A and B are shown apart, each in its own frame.
Chain A
Amino acid sequence: MSGQSPEVDTAKINTAVAQATPTAPADDTPLLRVEGVSKKFGDFRAVDRLSLDIKAGEFFALLGPSGCGKTTLLRMLAGFETPDEGRILLGGRDIAPVLPHERPVNMMFQNYALFPHLSVRDNIAFGLKRAGMARAAIDTRVGEMVALVKLDGLEKRRPDQLSGGQKQRVALARSLARRPKVLLLDEPLAALDKKLRESTQLELMELQRRLGMTFIVVTHDQEEAMTMANRIGVMDAGRLEQVASPRDLYEAPASRWVAQFVGDVNLFDGEVSSREHHQLTIATRDGGAIMVAEPHDPVGETVVSVAIRPEKVKLLRRGPELDAGNAQAINQLEGVVTDVSYLGGSTVYKVKLDSGAVVRSSIANTARLDIDTLSAGQRVIAWFAPDDCVVLER
């Protein structure tokens, strides 16, 4: 992936954009266009010739491990960092040289950055006062914002008299008050506990839909990105690995790296040995011959990996149960259950294949009383359908 030229990356991103937004508005110019932007800190390339289009009204997530450059990219959009090369176009205008206070973009900071010496009301009104809004209009707008984020009755409090969730709401209201064209959110929920995070995710989505505003959120939490965003850009080492809808990202990862980063996956390395009737046979080291459906884009290389998600791997006891005529059950791998992890909604089984490799299978616990569960030490057949496999270039 990292060896590819930037032109190829851009092309891939553009097709991904086209695929992911079938209901794109008639006006095809993106609200925000990032063109070949790079940012270096010393010798370290935090963002590396990155291109990206974001349409008006999108909820876009930048997802990646820490240090992948996602926050640097966000800070360039806000104006706190200047790109070393490339352009950032907002509504067709290059905003790279525009200072932060002159951009129609607002940011919600990871640590909220509430002004400790100002009340909740004055925090929210801060940006409006700078914009020279009339006092009465400011009062109305602050009232709207307070109602929007459900902070009624707390207007006079100082930030240090608020809980974490309340601070998060003040920060959100403050960044929304100026009605920016684009709202940037830097790990907006990272400081909240799990329950609060989940409910706040839904509130953010609801808010974004109601306001019709463009949100760009940076997160390292894939569940958060999947829940909230229409489209996700996965970043690694300063580059976009893939831009796609949550579903495509999970079901059609563009690379080994993405497949492993997003969700859990079983990978088999091998070579294409034959192709017929839209099916490829791949000779793998650990899983023998695996049949997969031929992808739409023909596989260029012969050295590939087969990726299969754990919930698509089914387990059966050895025996007559398996219907030999079931075309979907072509891929069968024999092994022994070594580990059973009960997770509530599902159970994850680790199966050690006869080749020595380990395959994970996740099975939904659809019934409360399941007497027929598998236990460690049992011999099983792990099987999966050719359609559920993804072929990835190595």
Chain B
Amino acid sequence: MMARRVGRMSPFNITALALGMAFLYLPIVILVIYSFNASRLVTVWGGWSLRWYHEFLNDRAMLDAAWMSLRVAAVSATIATLLGTLAAVGLVRGERFRGRTLFSGMLYAPLVMPEVISGLSLLLLFVALNAERGFWTVTIAHTTLTMCFVTVVVQSRLASLDRSLEEAAMDLGCDPVQAFVRVTLPLILPAIAAGWMLAFTLSLDDVVIASFTTGPGSATLPIRIYSEVRLGVKPEINAICTMVIALIAVLIVIASLASKLSGARGESAAPL
């Protein structure tokens, strides 16, 4: 099946595909290969080695930053998923309240807002509140950044869900809350999981907002890498980046599988 499809592609298509993929992934492939470089010089190949991975695992400051990043990502993704799901339910299932369009527009603003502006405004807020900057300020900042992404994912799933499923649940003895918990929630769960993973990776990636809202002694991994690179690229950075890429790739694959699964399962039972 696959082979036949490839065989039918024209030379032009193959070239375009190869160039596109190369453009996207060549830098990453080079980075991954060089992370296994035995040489101390980043640009000189000195044979295969796991030396830099070993180096990283003994680098206390880097490990702290990585741990910080994972914690921020996990907590902010969880809060963002809760709030984002509630917002999606309110927007799709709620009565048509006044200012609904404005509300949904405002919810999506962070999607298009330059991160520098979000970061700066959050910094001003935390300063005004006299909040001590550190783990919680970064986490709150990341929650505001990622919540809208969760809302988008969950909202599209909810909108495609047949409304009569909830009505059937109520008809069969569920009050509205039970109908949501027993029928709607299981059906949108894959979308919620996908939203969480998206929020997690976004938080893990972020440099700009984190650098505005973090405090002394609580640098996230991207900030740490960024400041190290300014002093010169060490091969250890390649190893760290490869591990981050692997983690994110795994999460993205799981998220897309989850949303595909949810799409295949939740459709209305009858051919309409």
Distance, CA A230 to CA B18, complexed state (A): 70
Residue numbers in B under 8 Å from A191 (CB-CB): 270-272
Residue numbers in B under 8 Å from A159 (CB-CB): 269
Residue numbers in A under 8 Å from B175 (CB-CB): 99, 101
- Taking beta carbons and an 8 Å cutoff, which residues of A are in contact with B? 78-80, 99-101, 105-107, 109-117, 126-127, 130-131, 159-160, 164, 167, 174-175, 178, 191
**CB atoms of A174 and B272 under 8 A apart:** no
**CB atoms of B265 and A116 under 8 A apart:** yes
Residue numbers in A under 8 Å from B168 (CB-CB): 107, 109, 113-115, 174
**CB atoms of A116 and B171 under 8 A apart:** no
Distance, CA A152 to CA B186, complexed state (A): 27
> Which of B157-214 touch A at CB < 8 Å?
162, 164-165, 167-175, 178, 182-183, 186-187
Residue numbers in A under 8 Å from B268 (CB-CB): 111, 113
A-B pairs with beta carbons under 8 Å apart, 25 shown: A80-B167, A100-B170, A101-B172, A101-B173, A101-B174, A109-B167, A109-B168, A110-B164, A111-B268, A111-B270, A112-B270, A113-B164, A113-B167, A113-B168, A114-B270, A115-B169, A116-B165, A116-B187, A116-B265, A117-B187, A160-B267, A167-B269, A174-B172, A178-B173, A191-B270
Residue numbers in A under 8 Å from B110 (CB-CB): none
Distance, CA A106 to CA B171, complexed state (A): 6
Residue numbers in A under 8 Å from B90 (CB-CB): none
Distance, CA A79 to CA B267, complexed state (A): 24
Closest 3 CB pairs of A and B: A130-B173, A127-B172, A114-B269
Distance, CA A116 to CA B183, complexed state (A): 9
Asked whether any CB of chain A lies closer than 8 Å to the CB of B266, the reply is yes
Residue numbers in B under 8 Å from A115 (CB-CB): 165, 168-169, 183, 269
Q: In the assembled complex, how far is the CB of residue A96 from the closest CB belonging to chain B, in whole angstroms?
A: 16
Q: In the assembled complex, how far is the CB of residue B37 from the closest CB belonging to chain A, in whole angstroms?
A: 49
Q: In the assembled complex, how far is the CB of residue A230 from the closest CB belonging to chain B, in whole angstroms?
A: 24
Query: Which listed residue, B174, B182, B269, touches A112 by the CB 8 Å rule?
Result: B269
Q: In the assembled complex, how far is the CB of residue B193 from the closest CB belonging to chain A, in whole angstroms?
A: 14
Q: In the assembled complex, how far is the CB of residue A246 from the closest CB belonging to chain B, in whole angstroms?
A: 28
Chain B: CB-nearest residue to A170: B269
Chain B: CB-nearest residue to A103: B171
Mask of B253-271 contacts with A, CB within 8 angstroms, 1/0: 0000000000001111111
Distance, CA A78 to CA B172, complexed state (A): 11
**CB atoms of B164 and A111 under 8 A apart:** yes
Residue numbers in B under 8 Å from A131 (CB-CB): 173
Known contacts A115-B183, A130-B178, A160-B269; A109 and B172 CB within 8 A of each other: no
Q: In the assembled complex, how far is the CB of residue B165 from the closest CB belonging to chain A, in whole angstroms?
A: 5
> Which of B216-272 touch A at CB < 8 Å?
265-272
> Which of B102-135 touch A at CB < 8 Å?
none
Q: In the assembled complex, how far is the CB of residue A261 from the closest CB belonging to chain B, in whole angstroms?
A: 26
> Which of B19-40 touch A at CB < 8 Å?
none
**CB atoms of B170 and A111 under 8 A apart:** no
Distance, CA A109 to CA B174, complexed state (A): 16
Distance, CA A390 to CA B164, complexed state (A): 43
Distance, CA A131 to CA B178, complexed state (A): 13
Distance, CA A286 to CA B85, complexed state (A): 68
Residue numbers in B under 8 Å from A100 (CB-CB): 167, 170-171
Distance, CA A29 to CA B269, complexed state (A): 39
Q: In the assembled complex, how far is the CB of residue B258 from the closest CB belonging to chain A, in whole angstroms?
A: 14
Residue numbers in B under 8 Å from A80 (CB-CB): 167, 170
Q: In the assembled complex, how far is the CB of residue B41 from the closest CB belonging to chain A, in whole angstroms?
A: 56
Residue numbers in B under 8 Å from A178 (CB-CB): 172-173
Chain A: CB-nearest residue to B265: A116
Query: Which listed residue, B162, B169, B187, touches A111 by the CB 8 Å rule?
Result: B162
Chain B: CB-nearest residue to A107: B171
Distance, CA A79 to CA B162, complexed state (A): 18
Chain A: CB-nearest residue to B267: A116
Residue numbers in B under 8 Å from A79 (CB-CB): 170-171
Residue numbers in A under 8 Å from B171 (CB-CB): 78-79, 100-101, 105-107, 127, 175
Q: In the assembled complex, how far is the CB of residue B264 from the closest CB belonging to chain A, in whole angstroms?
A: 8
Chain A: CB-nearest residue to B185: A117
Residue numbers in B under 8 Å from A109 (CB-CB): 164, 167-168
Residue numbers in A under 8 Å from B173 (CB-CB): 101, 127, 130-131, 178
Q: In the assembled complex, how far is the CB of residue B173 from the closest CB belonging to chain A, in whole angstroms?
A: 3
Chain A: CB-nearest residue to B264: A160
Query: Which listed residue, A99, A107, A164, A175, touches B270 by the CB 8 Å rule?
Result: A164
Q: In the assembled complex, how far is the CB of residue B38 from the closest CB belonging to chain A, in whole angstroms?
A: 52
Distance, CA A202 to CA B164, complexed state (A): 27
